[in-house]
Amino acid sequence: MKLLLVLALALNLIPAPVRYSPEKDKTCFRKEIASLEPWQQKEAYRITVKGKKVKVEAVTKEGKFRAKATLEQLKAMGELPQGTIFDYPRFRHRGIMIDESRSFKGKEFLKKQMDAMALLKLNVLHIHLDDSAGWRIESSAYPDLTAKTAWRVGRTYHEWEAGKYKFTSADDPEGYGGCYSPADLRELVAYAAEHYINIIPEIEMPGHSMEVGYAYPDVLCVLENGKRCTGAWDLCPGSEATFKLLEAVLKEVMDIFPSPYIHIGGDEATMKTWPLCVNCRRRMEEEGFTDVKQLQGYLVRRIEAFVRSRGRQIIGWDEILETGVPEEAVVQSWRGVSGGEKANAMGHEVVMSPNSHLYLNYYQDLIRKEPRAVGELTSLRHVYSYEPVAEGMDESLVLGMQGNLWCELVPTVEHAEYMLYPRAFAIAERAWSPASVRDPLEFRDRARKLVGVLRTKGYNTFDMDNESELAQSGYRTFDAFEKAKLQGSK
């Protein structure tokens, strides 16, 4: 048994399969998957290699597609091994989030990343389509969202910030930006479907929405003297204009994206203008609210009901838990794992993307050798060490996990790939492979080989050959690393 385990790990494959045996498997495939969940059966496959003969078994086209990825990777990394590979996923949500607002990367980039995702058996692409730095999806009901905010002054997010948040028009040769037409997005949806990837669109609200107020000032709070709160970060939950805009946009989004989940953001609302606003105060009085925070709950619940009435489920960042949200809402844990644990205990389905482990905009190696980033050291090994089901959590409610690539400091497509790979490998393996597969050194060997494969395919990856000792150790500080070395040498 031990020997089989070692052999399974030795396959040049990420994510590692559930089982590899050098022998031919005599059990009937359907019998072997009978005890799995339906969503696991859909992706399960078995590959038998004997001599030059390769046999693939699966119950769906999706299962065949996953087997194809396995064969493609094994061939690219070496030889097809003789024997049987039996495989199915641990989680149904294996995702990557790309921030298209802070820097716009466009559809060719997203298609290229979906190619890599398919090779890694990742199946969710979450696109952050709007934020204060620009609205990226054309709306026929609200055309000024892109006409007025999809181009900005300042190539990078911080240049734009330093220049006091100025937008410009598409025909300004100095302008930076871009947006997706509905036709572009339908093309991406079709491409995703061919790769068995679901695209989850995110329309952020009520915070991170400065650009919306710039394009349509009637979504902004109003002071007693009648003045609008120009430049505010948050939408006004007291104004009906806000709901009219959000619902019209979400309707268009749901027409384009077949995703069962629609992400509505919900994080980091400052709520600064709400206590000063006549419309917010009126709303609070009507609803009997005593705290402005309750206005966030009001907005999220109203939008959740709207989305649910159209047969979809919302996902929101973990702040949506704080002010009451129906159990149907999926909670995405980002401020560490506690939001996910709390939501899980309350009966919500959760997606784990804690900034403690899965933020791909954080440094992946020493500050002195890396391009400017944020956060604590989040090395490949650190990402790989993450276990999404903490003690006491109900695993059946954990949809899966996701890496988030925020792009304030990631201005180019090359840079985005550099931040994604190889850390996306670790996410793929933790989300697909059994929890028992977790030898970080053995994983690193496979990751180095796969980095080589991606490089020959034209991806700009992080250079694993020059990874520092600290990053390789998985510790986040020299202090912790030195302490561990001392203890180890005792």
In this chain, which of 249, 277, 358, 464 binds Zn ion, going by CB under 5 A? 277
The separation between CA 355 and the C-alpha centre of its own chain, rounded to angstroms, equals 12
Shortest Å distance, C-beta 304 to Zn ion:
20
Shortest Å distance, C-beta 280 to Zn ion:
3
- Residues 324-343 touching Zn ion, rule: CB under 5 A, are none
User: Would you say 14 and 116 are in contact if contact means Cβ atoms under 8 Å apart?
Assistant: no
- Residues 210-269 touching Zn ion, rule: CB under 5 A, are 221, 236, 238
Beta bridge pairs of residue 359: 404
Note the helical H segments in 357-412: 380-384
- Which one, 279 or 344, has the nearer CB to Zn ion? 279
In this chain, which of 205, 280, 330, 360 binds Zn ion, going by CB under 5 A? 280
List phi, psi (to 5°) of 386.
Answer: -75, 135
Shortest Å distance, C-beta 156 to Zn ion:
31
Stretch that binds Zn ion, among 142-150, 199-207, 277-285, 463-471 (CB under 5 A): 277-285
- Which one, 129 or 269, has the nearer CB to Zn ion? 269
Measure the CA–CA gap between 384 and 424, rounded to whole angstroms.
10
Shortest Å distance, C-beta 229 to Zn ion:
8
Measure the CA–CA gap between 38 and 31, rounded to whole angstroms.
14
User: Would you say 204 and 265 are in contact if contact means Cβ atoms under 8 Å apart?
Assistant: yes
Asked if 149 is part of the footprint of Zn ion (rule: CB under 5 A), the reply reads no
User: Would you say 205 and 128 are in contact if contact means Cβ atoms under 8 Å apart?
Assistant: no
- Going from the C-alpha of 296 to that of each of 264, 273, 319, the distances in angstroms are 12, 13, 9
User: Would you say 451 and 461 are in contact if contact means Cβ atoms under 8 Å apart?
Assistant: yes
Q: Total binding residues for Zn ion by CB under 5 A?
A: 6
Measure the CA–CA gap between 1 and 186, rounded to whole angstroms.
48
Shortest Å distance, C-beta 257 to Zn ion:
29
Shortest Å distance, C-beta 233 to Zn ion:
12
Beta bridge pairs of residue 167: 152
Asked if 85 is part of the footprint of Zn ion (rule: CB under 5 A), the reply reads no
Asked if 292 is part of the footprint of Zn ion (rule: CB under 5 A), the reply reads no
- Which one, 125 or 220, has the nearer CB to Zn ion? 220
- Which one, 200 or 221, has the nearer CB to Zn ion? 221
User: Would you say 329 and 348 are in contact if contact means Cβ atoms under 8 Å apart?
Assistant: yes
In this chain, which of 279, 323, 404, 461 binds Zn ion, going by CB under 5 A? 279
Stretch that binds Zn ion, among 187-195, 271-279, 368-376, 410-418 (CB under 5 A): 271-279
Shortest Å distance, C-beta 279 to Zn ion:
5
Stretch that binds Zn ion, among 85-93, 272-280, 329-337, 418-426 (CB under 5 A): 272-280
Strands 350-352 and 398-405 turn out to be parallel
Asked if 323 is part of the footprint of Zn ion (rule: CB under 5 A), the reply reads no
Measure the CA–CA gap between 18 and 28, rounded to whole angstroms.
17
List phi, psi (to 5°) of 290.
Answer: -110, -10
Shortest Å distance, C-beta 213 to Zn ion:
11
Q: How many CB atoms lie within 10 A of CB 27?
A: 10
Residues forming the site for Zn ion (CB under 5 A): 221, 236, 238, 277, 279-280
